[in-house]
Amino acid sequence: MKAVVLDGFGGPEVMHVSDVQTPEPGRGQVRVKVSATSVNRADIIQRQGHYPPPPGESEILGLEVAGVIDALGPEIDGWKPGDRVMGLVAGGGYGQYALAYAGHLMPIPESMSFAEAACVSETYITAFLNIFLIGDFKSNETVLIHGGGGGVNTSAIQLCRTLVQDATIAVTASPGKIDRVKALGADLVINYRRQNFAEEVRAFTGQKGADVILDHIGADYLQSNLKCLAVEGRLIVIGVISGAVAELNLAHMMVKRQRIIGSVIRARPIEEKGRITAAFKERVLPLFADRSIVPLIHRQFSLENVSAAHREMEESRHFGKIVLQVDETT
């Protein structure tokens, strides 16, 4: 099969499409003929050599797929060849065929295209897991989401606006994306290049602060996050692009009874990812089926143009998801 392979680690130029062995499904797995996948920040970090796949998983980039089941491994119930599916994979999405655990797949609603379906699993499940299952975000609370143009963050805005009555949504964004973030449903959009987001959030909430903060920046934002985190607030850290080491004022955290929670999906046990997928399928999938939520596709690239797709993300030109069309006939 054709797949993206790496000539060592480094910039987008290390990627190229080559012939590799088609994978065979093992126990509990199915093989998906991939129609589309998407570019995620984790793919870039892996390409740079800083985010290896879990032991035993494919070295090929790509954390989500949308396509059609091609073959079943042993002990599979509920799926058959020809089913349209989307789901999480721990690697292998940048190929014509990928292996997925049956419990990590969801049916693609008839109303969705393969390109739209390729945008769902990594970013929407990440947002749902961290803001709702871990962060317990609920009615009449405020959430602060950093980086309003990225896939996880735009997904989070849509989920918060749709799932939570009377939610207050604050978002940090670059100047060129502020209007689009507002149009997506944010109540407060902060130009992080010119404004102090901690001061803006506290002023907007009457000094109460944010009940939940979703952060992928890491070290540089820790102090400011805690300054605008409410009493009993939950700070969920899902990335450390500014660094992983920062000072923490434990006394301040204790007095305000704040929680700091680190979270990733990829390294979680297979069964746990299955439970997360099942919860998402029950609560969120119907919203895609009736088009209450429509995935935001920034741009589509062919698999051969994967380097250009990665540059698009690295230069922060995107708003929403960057899709790779693996099978351009679908």
* 169 is a domain residue: yes
What is the domain-level CATH number for residue 101? 3.90.180.10
Check residue 178 and give its pLDDT.
Answer: 96
What does pLDDT average to over the chain?
A: 97
* Identity of the amino acid at 282: E
Burial label for 1, CB within 10 Å (0-12, 13-18, 19+), is middle
The range of the structural domain enclosing residue 129 comes to 123-262
Q: In the prediction, which pLDDT does 329 show?
A: 83
Per-residue pLDDT tens over the stretch 128-185 = 999 999 999 999 999 999 988 899 999 999 999 999 989 999 999 999 999 999 999 9
Q: Are strands 142-145 and 297-302 parallel, antiparallel or unpaired?
A: unpaired
Q: Which of 224, 241, 262 represents a domain boundary (last residue)?
A: 262
3-state secondary structure of 174: coil
Number of domains in the chain: 2
- In this structure, the strands spanning 15-19 and 29-39 are unpaired
Q: Is residue 298 part of a domain?
A: yes
Query: With 90 as the cut, is the pLDDT of residue 328 above it?
Result: no
Are residues 59 and 95 part of one domain?
yes
In this structure, the answer to whether residues 9 and 131 fall within a common structural domain is: no
